[in-house]
Structure 1
Amino acid sequence: MTVELRHLRAFLVIAEEGNITRAAARLHTGQPALSRTLQALEAHLGVRLVDRSTHHLRLTDAGRDFRARAATAVAAVDAALDPARAGTWPLRLGHSWSALGQHTATVMRLWQRAHPKMPLELLRMDDRSAGLASGRVDAALVRNPVRSNGVRSVHLYDEPRVAAVSADSPLAEHPTLTLADLAGHPVIVNPTTGTTTIALWDTTHRPTTVLEVDNTDDWLAAIAAAQGIGVSSAATATIHPFPGVVYRPLTDAPALPLHLAWNDPPSHPAVTELAAFIRETASRQQDPPPSPSSSQD
């Protein structure tokens, strides 16, 4: 058989819904027809993509790997056929929060100057892969490497960590803080895209209360309302000034690595060039960013 785009779209909807019946309803087709489409795709690939032995449909290991490739292929076709993009080939860069911090505007401006017909589109995606797993971006800025077959990543640089505290908190009076200083306060975390967990603290000085939020905006609002403290990268202090929130350097917290990840094969030929471009641009910016300890007072 010849695999068509409809086979890939059908599989992606099945993977997203986790249920053949719901997927068939979304695709406006019958359940038996959708099952046959899935079976035909599996027969062509020679692997089982979906485990049907349980009450809840699950992707096999091969299915999870193929999902990333299928999403990339579908997104590439959609981008190629988008009338709004005719004559250009944008490079879509995903991020979950804070992008490249102080380097964001410089990288985008210099890239546009060097590649006038290849705009760099910065897209915020509230998922851990920053849009890479769904194929909505060509490359993604991630603090934790994406551990999946068919995904490559390179280390760009390391970011220092800062504490985010309410402007009314006594902690805001200190020019710098330590993790132990924060241990007596509730910590606010974003389990969807954030990197901070209770494991950042040692077992003897650890917050006893953890409050979870869904996104960066809610994280900032909760801190401003003195519901707890937060820990993030220095990039957050640059990109997300917020009324009632001050940022203080954490002197004993490990640096946070920033990676560029993309699907292999890449959906855009300039992805590896972008990685080198970001590292070179960041290394040229010798002047330190505004001190988080003073910019939010």
Structure 2
Amino acid sequence: MTIELRHLRAFLAIAEEGTITRAAARLHIGQPALSRTLRQLESHLGVRLVDRSTHHLELTTAGRRFREKATAALAAVDAALDPRPLTALPLRLGHPWAALGGRTIPLLRRWDEEHPEVPLELRRIDDRTAGLAQGKVDVALLRGEVRAPGLVTELLRHEERIAVVPADSELASRSALALADLAAWPVALNTVAGTTTPELWPASARPRETIEVTNTDEWLTAIAVGRAVGVSTSATPGLHSHPSIAYRPLTDAPPVPLLLAWRSGTPTHPAIPALVALARQLVAED
């Protein structure tokens, strides 16, 4: 008779479960049918694979050897029939609020032109690592100090900080602002993914009031309605224009590092080096 994959799966289920009863339940077949399948396999091989002399089945010496071969054979078949490697896995690029700023659209377009076989998915995730630490993305654009363990980072550039103010405020009428100009207002702080904290100001001149928000939308709204001002980087206007918000240079705040990050010590997406190279090329063109 012809041996089929079901014979191998039946034998391995018996070997792993230790009883015909449990193996049959696992395979959703009757015990007589499973016993018959095992006998067919043993008859084809001409050897006894399972010792049935005890209540708890044991593999014979030949059975233990065949178990290794059957396991390898099924693994090879499962790999061959897995459709996922036949289509490229998307490269998931996370960011918490500004992606690559004004170079975000060029990044996506250039990627589609140069790597049409690998979809690049841009995902905004309100999290300090933009979902990277949780495995929600393969690589992330992050700003500021990255403290999460197990990540590899690549510095792309430093971005200048800017002031973000209500468009109808007196602050918007100025060509540039300093930290002291903002301290008289409540300052909106994104406590989940932002890079601004009260420590940005000198200890003797910190804002008298802060408004804590948990995502970019809340942060933009607080500023747009005139409840607060904010501090961001030069990338933000390129991705978050708003008629009720004005962006102005901030003259006395240190720049913010922009990083590409991915997980270390685990299999990584093979297209990450290509993304790093393209991102570096685009920021160098600014």
**Contact kept in structure 1, 2:142 and 2:260, CA below 8 Å:** yes
Identity of aligned residues (%): 50
Larger radius of gyration: 2
**Contact kept in structure 2, 1:145 and 1:259, CA below 8 Å:** no
| Aligned equivalent of 1:270 | 271
**Contact kept in structure 2, 1:188 and 1:229, CA below 8 Å:** yes
**Contact kept in structure 2, 1:157 and 1:258, CA below 8 Å:** yes
Name the SS for the 1:105 alignment partner. helix
| Aligned equivalent of 1:95 | 95
Residue 228 of structure 1, CA deviation: 1.1
- RMSD, aligned α-carbons: 2.0
1:278–1:185 Cα change, 3 Å = same
The code of the aligned residue for 2:120 comes to L
Q: When the two structures are aligned, how many residues end up with a matched partner?
A: 205
Residue 110 of structure 1, CA deviation: 1.0
Residue 280 of structure 1, CA deviation: 1.2
Instruction: Tell me how far apart the structure 2 counterparts of residues 220 and 82 of structure 1 sit (CA, whole Å).
Output: 45
Instruction: Tell me how far apart the structure 1 counterparts of residues 83 and 136 of structure 2 sit (CA, whole Å).
Output: 17
Gaps of 5+ in 2: 1-80
**Contact kept in structure 1, 2:129 and 2:148, CA below 8 Å:** no
| Aligned equivalent of 1:146 | 146
TM-score by length of 2: 0.68
| Aligned equivalent of 1:281 | 282
Gaps of 5+ in 1: 1-80, 286-297
Instruction: Tell me how far apart the structure 2 counterparts of residues 90 and 148 of structure 1 sit (CA, whole Å).
Output: 24
The code of the aligned residue for 1:232 comes to S
1:115–1:182 Cα change, 3 Å = same
Residue 86 of structure 1, CA deviation: 5.9
| Aligned equivalent of 2:165 | 165
Residue 151 of structure 1, CA deviation: 1.4
Instruction: Tell me how far apart the structure 2 counterparts of residues 83 and 95 of structure 1 sit (CA, whole Å).
Output: 29
| Aligned equivalent of 1:237 | 237
| Aligned equivalent of 2:116 | 116
| Aligned equivalent of 2:259 | 259
Instruction: Tell me how far apart the structure 1 counterparts of residues 211 and 271 of structure 2 sit (CA, whole Å).
Output: 40
1:86–1:136 Cα change, 3 Å = farther
Residue 83 of structure 1, CA deviation: 7.7
1:125–1:83 Cα change, 3 Å = farther
Residue 250 of structure 1, CA deviation: 0.5
Name the SS for the 2:203 alignment partner. coil
The code of the aligned residue for 2:272 comes to V
Residue 255 of structure 1, CA deviation: 0.8
The code of the aligned residue for 2:276 comes to A
| Aligned equivalent of 1:222 | 222
Instruction: Tell me how far apart the structure 2 counterparts of residues 207 and 266 of structure 1 sit (CA, whole Å).
Output: 45
The code of the aligned residue for 1:279 comes to R
1:62-73 equivalent positions in 2, closer than 5 A? none
Name the SS for the 2:257 alignment partner. strand
| Aligned equivalent of 1:175 | 175
Residue 192 of structure 1, CA deviation: 0.4
TM-score by length of 1: 0.65
Q: Which runs of 4+ in 1 moved over 4 A?
A: 81-86
Instruction: Tell me how far apart the structure 2 counterparts of residues 85 and 208 of structure 1 sit (CA, whole Å).
Output: 56
Larger deviation: 197-206 or 138-147? 138-147
Name the SS for the 1:204 alignment partner. helix
Residue 85 of structure 1, CA deviation: 9.3
1:84–1:203 Cα change, 3 Å = same
Q: Deviations over 1:178-216 (max 9, x none)?
A: 111111111011100111000001122211101101111
1:37-56 equivalent positions in 2, closer than 5 A? none
